[in-house]
Structure 1
Amino acid sequence: MSTDVKRLITLLATLLLAALPTTAARAADGDAPSAGQRIANALRTSPVYVDESYADAVPPSRQRQLADRIRRTGLPIKVVLTPLTKGDAFDGDSHVLAGIVRDRLPDRRELVLITPDSDFPDSLRGYEWPADTHQASRAVAAAGFLDEMRDAGLADLTAKAVDLVAEGKGEQRYEEATADLGGPSSQSTKPGPGSESGSGSDSESGFGSGRTGWWLLLAVPALALAALTTRAALLRSRKRSPALPQLVFATARAADEAQVRRRAEAEVLALGEATRAADVATTPGLQQALDAYAAAGTVLDRARGLPALAGALALVQEGRDALADSPGLPLCFFNPLHGRAALRTGWRPLGRRDRLDAAVCQECAHALRDHRAPEVLTDTDGSGRRVPYFEVPAGRSVWSATGYGSLMSPLEGFNSARPRAR
């Protein structure tokens, strides 16, 4: 028997011995209500649940107004406004939240549920069971695109979503609200929590406490076997996978900071060598390239995360274009780690009237065309939350101010805001 297999068996035994007493203790002492159960309990007395962190945006008086508005529709509409953060009881996923809450409601045969949208900050998402009878998904999505909702608060946006669901013309309203975006109107979404069993994390599973022990007995070995299989597959893929192409980067969620840093170091070094080899007489953009090289080196030295590392790459790209005297499109606006943009397109952030002229890669262009969320590079805002980098105030981030070249030259932005080029 191999050493890896012995270690796996030991790990399984330890997990099972640790899990079963915990399960027995929970069954004996009784669990405190989970986050999903607390929400479901609250929805039994009111169709509106608002987490205390949203109390300022939707105070009790507005909650009562929303509840009255829902009751007048005569529809089984429920509103759950709670923050979603990766690692919370719902894993920061609105789909998981919707499935868990529905599973814990006493009558779940007919339900329209309005929740925050985990893909788009400050937006809402609609779910409906057993089918999209009232076109709730499109109705709720349409609310965020309406010009009248451009500066609306959470309470007003939710009220408009309720009205559009009650109207029953979600498809039409969505088409009208997004007509100026262009492209087909199909909305690609992750599979919704529409099954009878719902979905959720371990702490929020739909199984009763009496069955948790059996679930662990089955799940732990299965998970371990899956992990072992995945490990073997990874080992095989490492032996045969070719080197990554020069301009191919991992997406924001999968990118390894150390790998991107090494890439940025190599790119900055290569730009420096290219500037030294350039002929002053035949390279009109040499000074700009030298400035971009110096700025990229400064940013790289101070970089403490992917946003700044991506900034160094954007400066390198500008320097290369200056040397070639053929300025092209900058790196992708939504995620500069996608590489150079393929085209420019108009993009209007949800809930806003103004449109940005963004340079995007082909992948992000397809996402916008299909009304899906592009894969975006994230950064931390003033409160420490992870948000799309362009939602960080421009006064705090040169990359938010420049869009990595879509909104302003990275070099120009760096020179005008050196203290915040983090």
Structure 2
Amino acid sequence: MSSDRRPTDRRSLAGGLLATLLACAALLGTGAPARAEGTPAAGSVNSVVDALRTGPVYVDPAFAAAVTAAQQKELADRIAATGLPIKVVLLPLNKGDAFDGKSKSLAAVVNERLGQPQLILLTNDDYGSWLTGTEWPADTHQARDSAAAVGFLKELKDAGLAARVGRAIDLIASGKGTEVYKAEIARMDRERSARPHTDGAGSGSSSDGGPTGLLVAGVAVPAVLVAAGSYLVVRRRRAPRHTAFSFPDAVFAADRAADEAGLRRQAAAEVLALGEAVNGADGATTPGLTRALDAYDAAGRVLDGARDIPDLAGVLALAAEGRAALATEPRLPLCFFDPRHGAAAGRTDWRPLGRRERVDVAVCADCSQALRGRRAPQVLAVRDQGRTVPYFEVPAERSLWAATGYGSLLSGPEDTLAARVGTGQFSRARQQPADTED
């Protein structure tokens, strides 16, 4: 993703940002014949590039079940019928491999090694879960949005990988990838807005009835001090005493089983929706437009670098921060205990177990009720130093989200999540070794 997200034509702001990270549903695997002695190892740079010099499709043996030899030929014939320089590469990506586990590196290396002045490349993403589309020298045929759109099409919900790649090829050839992608996002927004609101993890709605309708309702980071007066009644009700956090195994199991790919798609859609809202905003009547642009830029950067659910929750918080900057009324951050709960219903004083100081945090209705009942709210759990802990117990230098409470702990109007991403706090924290499950 480009580091420059402020094009002269703001109408193009949202269109190209996220499509390389959006989604078709889980890939299974594809097939290729066994390697003959002396030929390049499957998945190596040479094997990929050599295959693409003689045909438009490379499928690693690791994906033998998903795209058969006959399906590969069908895809090659479909590409030939388009007359476009389309290539398809499907292979597992792992840290330390020839592409360092990154689909962007894969695309860049293939493009450089092939040396074609014009190239449209369809690949799987870093996690092997989605399709990405990249075109050189420019995205003339809407390859990014075409690859992204197949992840949202209802008719492809239960389709195999070959069908998804084929549909992406058709969309690229039609030149309607962006149109279809935006139509599917709008459809999903309408369906979400029609559902009853719940505060549980993985659900949410937009309080302004806007097109986000997707876990996020808005954050009032720049205006949080102004908003504080409106919530004094909430804050001055009898604050819960010291709350012991006990986290049953079921809570951790549910968190580990969360659909990270689905959350990533939702986070990407939130950022796209924010970009469209920014595009439609009138700079003369929107004082917070610059802050919204900053939030949009930061959300895209975090989405690029997100490696787990807490980072994706941070994308939701940043998108909500941008929405709040565009709003005319102050808005609270997302729920401190887990941003996936949605927008906060109020603020409350809370004292973590074993600490003397209280903190003022934004909480959703369910978490507020739990605190009033002296029960532990549902929290976003993470792995840290071999232990599963609430995200806010990770040292601040290792987690932007622990340092900020996803917006609840910011110090004032100039202290925003976007500003902290802009000063490198997310990048520095991300350089810390990632923990893994035992």
Higher relative contact order (CA 8 A, sep 6+): 2
Q: Tell me the TM-score normalised to structure 2 length.
A: 0.40
Q: Which structure has the highest helix share of the two? A: 1
Q: Tell me the TM-score normalised to structure 1 length.
A: 0.42
